[in-house]
Structure 1
Amino acid sequence: MADEAVPFDDRGFAYGDGLFETVLVRDGQPLLWGAHLRRLARGAERLEIPLPDAQTLASLPGQAGAGLYVLKLLVTRGSGGRGYASPESPAPRLRWRCMPFTPQSTHWRDGVRVRLCRLRLGQQPLLAGIKHLNRLENVMARREWCDADIAEGVLCDQHDRLVEATSMNLVWQRHGTLETPDLTACGVEGTLLAALRERLPIATRATGIEALMEADAAWVINSVQGVWPLRQLDDADGNCLKRWAVDTVHRHLQHHAHPLLGYPHDAFDEA
């Protein structure tokens, strides 16, 4: 079903008992579709939720028209069960919507300012990596600022180790090596990050904010917005911790990532 009413007793609505994917669709063709389906399948296996049949899922991107769209699909466990107890034979519920989309191309060119969040992510390895519906930590982190010049918030775990941004993954270059946080205990493994790791040597690091302070370049990335270079990192009180000049070093990741999404990858080389 498309964007129809969800019953009051739907477990996704009541408990966040479900999964979602947000997919960039260009002229009816989904980008990184295989990676999205694989992550959805991993999440379904973890939560033990049966997925809709492959033909139904494959038909969804075609609902978008010509141009650039974002497809958001949600799969919940459906209704039933008593309290937190799951129904013995769940009947999953699929909802989806296609929305026209315009990327923020100035962020590709000029880079973005980000801030550290006060909120610390809790660790739950069973839920790490997947895109489950319970995103309350991310919602609370995003409520920490209203300054329009702040594009994203950087999240650490309870041990002050870097994890992700509120809706994007983190990548940085330090001592000539591309690095990204360890996501085995918490955080979402983005599909663009997964695709880049198949093409580039990106090392996993369990590290704190010192990695960004030592970085020659840093980025926030996802499969809808693409790659935003970081130009400034602030602490949670708005004090500048680090500035980067957005230059050819920052363009390196865009060169590899943006063709996967149909975005420009060489328009800003002289920046």
Structure 2
Amino acid sequence: MSEPVILINGQPATTLSVADRGLQYGDGLFETIPFRHGKLEYLDAHIERLLRGCNRLQIDFTDLALLQHELVTLCAQTAEDAVIKIMITRGSGGRGYKPPLDALPQRIIASHPLPDYPTHYSEGVTVQLCSIRLSSNPLLAGIKHLNRLEQVLARNEWSTDAIAEGLMLDYQDRLVEGTMSNLFLVKDEHLLTPNLNESGIEGIMRQRVIELASVLNMPTEITTLNMDDLYQADEVFLTNSLINIWPVTALSGTNKTWSHGTITQRLQKALSTTDN
């Protein structure tokens, strides 16, 4: 893998002011985009979510054209497939929660090695139920804000490579998502995925799978799900932009298993056929 490339406001750099509100308060947003075969995948959808997040957090980010130019510059210096991470912070603001009116948003983009999961796509993964719960916050639900402490603590609950992901509940015992992924269940050939109105991230791949399910005439429902629904599911799979679709085959600490079923396989095939 070639050396990572980092641009801060368009310039090669590796440092940021300690007064930056992204560091001080998690006051910002991020997007993680796969760069494969010379292409930033689902770029428009990622940018749309980034702008939606800026609007939600009232970050006055107007340098979209400049950001897109910097993405082109960074990708031109990235010789191999990679993960491109975009961060937008509100900028520097000193101590105190109230943002200064003259804060200048900061643009940070960086390339990272693309992780390799050689068998997860075909053989499936084992997941763990996390003890850390997701709090309810409709204002922040859906967007990728920089404060991911719940996910950080949840991901710290296991260290073995035998577990690929952790599932997270909220404080009402509702299934929400994985630490880094969205969750889908299949029951009686119906596709089910959690409602994310109060917590969780509205993943780009989650939306793509919902669109593909519509094309394939698969009944799909965004709904409230719990552990009983998980245990009764015929198939379970996870999604995000980097992993695409991972079938879940086992829940750690239990004897519960699922097959890499036909619905999951149809969606994997449709995704690889239409988007590659």
Same fold per TM (> 0.5)? yes
Contact 1:217-1:230 within 8 A present in 2 as well: yes
Offset, 1:254: 0.9
Amino acid at match of 1:172: L
Contact 1:20-1:40 within 8 A present in 2 as well: yes
Matched, 1:48 2:58: yes
Q: Which residue of 1 aligns with 2:267?
A: 253
Q: Which residue of 2 aligns with 1:267?
A: none
**How far apart, in 2, do the equivalents of 1:143 and 1:180 lie?**
25
Quickly say closer, same or farther: Cα 1:84–1:126, change in 2 above 3 A.
same
Offset, 1:260: 5.8
Query: How many residues end up aligned between the 2 structures?
Result: 258
Offset, 1:258: 3.4
TM-score (norm 1): 0.90
SS of alignment partner, residue 173 of structure 2? coil
What does 1:32-111 correspond to in 2, within 5 Å?
32-62=42-72, 63-64=74-75, 65-80=78-93, 82-111=95-124
Offset, 1:148: 1.3
Contact 1:227-1:258 within 8 A present in 2 as well: no
Q: Which residue of 2 aligns with 1:157?
A: 170
Quickly say closer, same or farther: Cα 1:92–1:179, change in 2 above 3 A.
same
Q: Which residue of 2 aligns with 1:215?
A: 233
Match of 1:229 among 235, 247, 253: 247
Contact 1:220-1:230 within 8 A present in 2 as well: yes
Higher mean alpha-carbon deviation, 190-199 vs 158-167, is at 190-199
RMSD in angstroms over aligned alpha carbons? 1.7
SS of alignment partner, residue 247 of structure 2? strand
Quickly say closer, same or farther: Cα 1:44–1:116, change in 2 above 3 A.
same
Q: Which residue of 2 aligns with 1:148?
A: 161
**How far apart, in 2, do the equivalents of 1:252 and 1:143 lie?**
33
Q: Unmatched 5+ residue regions in structure 2?
A: 1-7, 215-219
SS of alignment partner, residue 212 of structure 2? coil
**How far apart, in 2, do the equivalents of 1:43 and 1:182 lie?**
18
Q: After superposition, give the CA deviation of every residue in 1:152-198 in whole Å (9 maximum; x if it has no partner).
A: 00001000000000000001111210010010000001011112222
Q: After superposition, give the CA deviation of every residue in 1:181-226 in whole Å (9 maximum; x if it has no partner).
A: 0100000010111122223243111121111111111101100111
Matched, 1:205 2:223: yes
**How far apart, in 2, do the equivalents of 1:56 and 1:260 lie?**
30
Q: Which residue of 2 aligns with 1:244?
A: 258
Q: After superposition, give the CA deviation of every residue in 1:102-130 in whole Å (9 maximum; x if it has no partner).
A: 43131001100001011110000000000
**How far apart, in 1, do the equivalents of 2:271 and 2:23 lie?**
34
Q: Unmatched 5+ residue regions in structure 1?
A: 263-271
Q: Which residue of 1 aligns with 2:14?
A: 4
Quickly say closer, same or farther: Cα 1:171–1:60, change in 2 above 3 A.
farther
